[in-house]
Every structure is written in C-alpha cells, then in structure tokens.
Structure 1
Amino acid sequence: METGSRFFTSWSGGKDSALALHHAIRSGAIPELLITMMTETGERSRSHGLSRDLLTLQAEAIGIPARFAAATWADYEDTFQETVAGVVREGVRIGVFGDMDIESHREWVVSTCARAGATAELPLWGRERAGLMEELVADGFKALLVAVREPLLPPELLGKVIDRDMIRRFGEAGVDLAGEKGEYHTVVVDGPIFRHPLPVILGERVLRDGVWFVDIEAATG
C-alpha cells in the first residue's frame, strides 16, 4: 500500500485482522474505519461472537472508529457490499483484510469490494503460518482464545493468551497454527496498534455447534 492511502479494515476483533491492520499502518497508510459484520440482532459479531459493546471499546482502545452492519447469512454479501459502497462514497476506496491463503475467501473479498468500488488489500496473503504467529508474539500482541473447536482443542484453553507455548500446543494437536480452518478464534486486547490495553473479564462458557465459546466483557473500574 502507498504511504498516505486511506483505508478501512474488515475487523473481526481477532489476531488476523489486527495483524493485517498493523501491516497496513506500518506501510504508511492511514486507517479510517473498522467494519464489523454482526448477526441480524446487531449484538454479536458474525465471525467470533464478540459483543458490540466489547468491539466498541476495543476500537476506542485502538483509536479508530468502528462501524457495524447487521445481516443474516442470506443477505450478508449484499449488506457488506452496501456498507463498503457507503465508505467509498466517503472517499475511502481501499479495504484491508486478514485472509491468508483460502482462495475462495480472497476471491470473495476482491469481487465484493470491486462491485462496491473498492480495492481489497490482503497483507498476510501467502505468508507462512509459523512466521506469522511468531510475528504476533514478537510484536507484543495479546490475543486471547475466545473459541475452540472440539475435540481438536480443549475448552480449558479459553481465555488463555497465545504465546510461544500455546503455538507449540497447536502444533502438537495437529491444528493449523493460525486457526485458519476454524480450529480457534481470538480477541486482541493489546499490542502495537493499541493506544492502551483493553482490560477484560471472562464470562460463561457455552458449546454451540461443536465449538466452545467464552463470553468476554470489558472490565470496568
């Protein structure tokens, strides 16, 4: 990306979108907006099940405005495209995405952005997994596990920070180190893109469709 380019980030709240945002900022581009797709109620993110309140506070800790769009799976693509088109009308024509190597995902973001008048940038595309995960840790990102798929990973890992030991455990379990096949999801609460850490507390664990989730809330006081 060119220095001074204005962009939005497709934001899950997790490590991939955080790393992609970090790469874009380091290139000299200017972040304008975090876009998160929500369930039809608008209260939880589609990708990671994070609450709107938590995502709002996360965006404030980073210092980039958040924009939310609620959709069912049936109208997800149309809603996302309309949201991007609205951002384009505001003068932001580049979108940054955290996809790594699933070709169907790349094709979707490229084509959907193009129909909305935007260009998709994928700074992590084609990067080797171990290197990306080492970068995550070495650069000081604090990513907590908020979802794990059974029986690949145990629910006891929920709320734990991804560090080098955790990456080793992923390798021993035989799962994708970056969780690209849905083995786990994260929320990032600190790192080089943050103005200040986001303190959180762990809530209830629930099992939905073979995936364990833990509710994460911002700590107050």
Structure 2
Amino acid sequence: MKKRIALSWSGGKDCCIALDTLIQNGYEIVSLITTVPKELGRTFGHGERTEMIKLQGEALSIPVYFIECSYEHYTDQFVKAIQTLKNQDMITGIAFGDLYLDEHREWGEKVAISAEVEAIYPLWTKKEASLQLLENFVRSGYEAIVVRVREDVLDESWLGRIIDESFLHDAKKTAICPMGESGEYHTFVYDGPLFSKRIQLDQGELIQLETTKKLEFKSYRLVASVK
C-alpha cells in the first residue's frame, strides 16, 4: 500500500522535482500544501497569486490545500493544517523540497513531530551537489521560468529566463547557489511530464519589491500541452 503524504508546495522547480521523485518512489501525493498570508491572497514562499498555484494543482490533478496564516503564528497554523490532513485524508507524512539548509530541515522535522507524522526530504543532499541538481532539472522535461531575483546577487536581466542549458551555463559563472537555495532566485513551473496541461503565462511586468524584483504575470491559463 502506498504511503499517503502531503507535499509543501511553492510552485517552483525544487518542489516539482520533489514531487516527481516521490511519485517515482511509490508515494501517493494527497495534496500540495501552500501557505498564504490571510490579507494578501498570495503565497508566502514566492509571492505568487493563489490562482497560479491552483492552475498547477489542476494540471497535476492534485488538490492544493492553502494554509491561511500569519507571521506570528506561522508554525502553529502549519502544524494544525497537517493534523487536519492527517485526520481528514489519512496522510502519514509531510514532504519538503529543501536541499541542504539545516535550519529548514530542523523546522520541518519539528513540525512533523508536533503533528505526529513523518518528515520526508527526497532531495536532501550536500551543497556541493547543487550544480548537478540543476543539470538534472534542465534535462528532466519540466519547464520553469525565473519569476523573482534577489537584487544583491542577480539583476533584473535574469527575470523571465527559462531554466535551460543557457541558464545553466550562465549560472555557473555566478557566485550564487546554482539551485538558488538561499533565495537568490525563484521559479514557477508551467509544464512537464506530470502536467496534463501547460500553463500559458502572458503580459509579464517587472515589479520592484523591498529587496527583490519580481516578474508579475497579468494573464495565465491552462492550454494543451505540447509533448
């Protein structure tokens, strides 16, 4: 019998590869968990519109479970949501797409212990392996676009770039983690092997935020996937 689990979901490449890996390893992904500040209607992770995350869930045929929470009570509200899914959907674990930051894993494991479920890290590795992970993604068949960059490490010319061989080549020349594990850049996955439909993104607009720049799409919809 497959283990029924939930996956922490930001919409980016790391959680997408985590999803693919988990399914290949025989897990059943019951839901994609995304946290949103109550007042904004956008995700905590990358600041994406919830509608875009819903499109990913629809294309993947996996329900999205939004956790409305605040900065002050983020952990408690996350734990309560996992407990709800445990009772409601019989999940036995929560998976995360983190790669090597110990403080992120420590937080996830504490959450899992509090909710009395298993913490799963299918991509966990060493920092030195991050370039190989990026190479693996480029060749995975998934398609992702850069939607946010940290101004102190990358300029706005990186926004809108597709995670492909050209991106890989240029990322090697920078001092950043190739996978952007410290938030150097964020991505949005819009197509790939597990997607039944492609997410068409149009009318991108550059948005200046406090320490980052973001590519905001005014139009997004599901279209037939070309595979």
- Separation of aligned partners in 2, 1:195 and 1:32: 17
Match of 1:205 in 2: 206
1:134 equivalent to 2:132? Answer no
Match of 1:194 in 2: 195
Q: Which amino acid aligns with 2:119?
A: A
Match of 2:114 in 1: 115
- Kept in 1: contact 2:9–2:34 (CA 8 A): yes
- Separation of aligned partners in 2, 1:69 and 1:179: 24
Moved more, 149-158 or 48-57: 149-158
Question: What is the aligned residue count?
Answer: 219
Q: CA deviation at 1:133?
A: 0.9
- Kept in 1: contact 2:198–2:222 (CA 8 A): no
- Kept in 2: contact 1:87–1:93 (CA 8 A): no
TM-score using structure 1 length: 0.94
- Separation of aligned partners in 2, 1:32 and 1:165: 35
Q: CA deviation at 1:75?
A: 1.0
- Separation of aligned partners in 2, 1:203 and 1:59: 21
Matches within 5 A, 1:55-70: 55-70=53-68
- Kept in 1: contact 2:55–2:222 (CA 8 A): no
Q: CA deviation at 1:42?
A: 5.1
Find 1:32's aligned residue among 30, 33, 48.
Answer: 30
In structure 2, the gaps of 5 or more residues are: none
In structure 1, the gaps of 5 or more residues are: none
- Kept in 1: contact 2:199–2:222 (CA 8 A): no
Q: Which amino acid aligns with 2:103?
A: S
Matches within 5 A, 1:154-165: 154-165=155-166
Q: Could you list the per-position Cα deviations for residues 110-143 of structure 1 after superposition, in whole angstroms to 9, with x for gaps in the alignment?
A: 1111101211100110151122111111111111
1:214 equivalent to 2:215? Answer yes
The alignment partner of 1:199 has SS state of strand
Q: CA deviation at 1:196?
A: 1.8
1:102 equivalent to 2:104? Answer no
Find 1:22's aligned residue among 20, 23, 35.
Answer: 20
Q: CA deviation at 1:61?
A: 0.6
